Amino acid sequence: MADPLLRPIAEIAILLCEGKLKARALAEAAIANHERFGGKLMAYSQWAPAHARPCAGAADAAFAVGSRAGPLQGIPTSIKDLFAVSGFPTYAGSPKRLPPKFEIDGPVVAALRRQLATVMGKTHMVEFAFGGTGHNAHYGTPYNPWDAAAHRSPGGSSSGAGVSLCEGSALLAFGSDTAASVRLPAAMTGNAGLKITKDRWSTEGIVPLSFTFDTPGILARSMADAAFAFVALDPHLGDSFAFLREVPQGVGGIRIGLADRWFWEDCENGIADVVRAAIEKLAGAGAVLKETPLPEAREAYAVFSEGGMSEIELRAFLDRELPDWLATIDPVNAPALKNAENLSAREYLTRRLRLRDAAKSAATRFDDVDVIATPTVMFTPHVLAEETGAEKFWARNRKIVHNLAPVNYLTLCAATLPVGLDRLGMPVGLQLIAKGGDDERLVAIACAAERVLGTPRDILGVPPMCRA
């Protein structure tokens, strides 16, 4: 049998159910892949083969007696260290272990574990998820495997999640998305990412950054894999397999809105050309294109650039739950959290009202289109050595989430899938944005687009740092 880790998760699940593949063998292959790199990619803050092997053994034992705990039974999975996972300490990217109440499984992790997925470990992240570059002053930053010569950003805040997929130590990765933190690392590492509608999945058991915007999310090696995990875990879908059967085989008749120039005009290194070529290929396969401005994104981004709500909501959480952690906050984040003290209740509420009005208006932009297409990230992942000082850090952070944060701030959902490489050989993502609550339609359209455009491995090949 060819390397099973290269197969789609749906095929792997069938092989496991039929007894033609063992969960333990799958886990050992994932362990070997991580150890082949000697941990140099820094995907994990807690690498746990001693935990993964018994997980896989339990999945095999259940299979052996005909017990099917769920579609993700035996699937190697990594989990961002923002999620509570019983049996693991939670640090949330900080230098100190959080109290025990932050180690109790929430609904998402509990559902994953009930299905007997194999947990490979907890992945590195930006401290308290506050930042998109992947930078962490306490532990260092994972390596983007698409550049073997320079240490480039893997995206954040779920910085280790995409890297774990690239190195083959996980087939599925869990992150959180408050302003970009699933789609950004997915796009920068050549993976697929899914940001679902706010409150569709519970955030209980996830250390909060912003109770207004936090959303659990999925990173996977393909949109097909992300869709498989979505239907396996989504509490709103009755018959998961019925949903999968309804995914269209092509894009004929799908209405794709072309986002206005605000999403395109600052793209560098040929990113815009790569994304436009992908959209034109979809049009050639029958998709219907329509110019669709989304001016509300400008207002949402303005609120984000003014400080949004994440700063004050994180500061309020730390003051209430973890006041001792403020003394050790990453120096690039400390000024922003200090400044949050000066935000008045009136200004905070004004920002909320501005976003409420913008979100209501943005929802109408989807009356004539199914999704709106944009480049996921307009900028090539930067070399981390170029990052110095809080001011430069936050200027870069605002740039890289430019096309992403408005999705959260306008209560929309979105997916990203890789569509090529830029002029520096780094992955380029296509973002498909849908109206909030249209998650099933979004996932179906993204899968249909992937069938036309090709899987990430077909389009991109293997990251240079992961080549034998």
Active site residues: 80, 157, 181
CA atoms lying within 13 Å on the CB side of residue 15: 20
Angle at 185 between CA 364 and CA 204, to 5 degrees: 70
Q: Which run of H or of E encompasses 121?
A: strand 118-123
Phi, psi of 334 (to 5 degrees): -55, -45
What's the one-letter identity of residue 4? P
3-state SS, residue 145 = coil
User: Shortest CA distance to 432 belongs to which of 242, 229, 294?
Assistant: 294
Angle at 310 between CA 272 and CA 192, to 5 degrees: 40
Using CA atoms, how far apart are residues 239 and 118, in angstroms rounded to an integer? 23
Phi, psi of 119 (to 5 degrees): -85, 115
Is there a contact between 216 and 106 (Cβ–Cβ < 8 Å)? no
3-state SS, residue 279 = helix
Using CA atoms, how far apart are residues 345 and 341, in angstroms rounded to an integer? 10
Is there a contact between 156 and 182 (Cβ–Cβ < 8 Å)? no
Kindly list the strands in the beta sheet with 76-80, ordered across the sheet, starting from the edge strand earlier in the chain: 44-47, 118-123, 76-80, 172-176, 216-220, 192-195, 413-421, 427-434, 371-375, 255-258, 288-291
Paired tokens of 265: 């005009």
Paired tokens of 127: 């401290």
Paired tokens of 405: 């944060």
Paired tokens of 430: 């296509």
Q: How far is Cα of residue 92 from the mean position of the Cα atoms in its chain?
A: 16
User: Shortest CA distance to 374 belongs to which of 240, 278, 270, 296?
Assistant: 278
What's the one-letter identity of residue 322? L
Q: Which residues contact 287 (CB under 8 A, 6 or more apart)?
A: 251, 252, 253, 254, 255, 256, 279
Is there a contact between 467 and 443 (Cβ–Cβ < 8 Å)? no
User: Shortest CA distance to 425 belongs to which of 388, 394, 467?
Assistant: 467
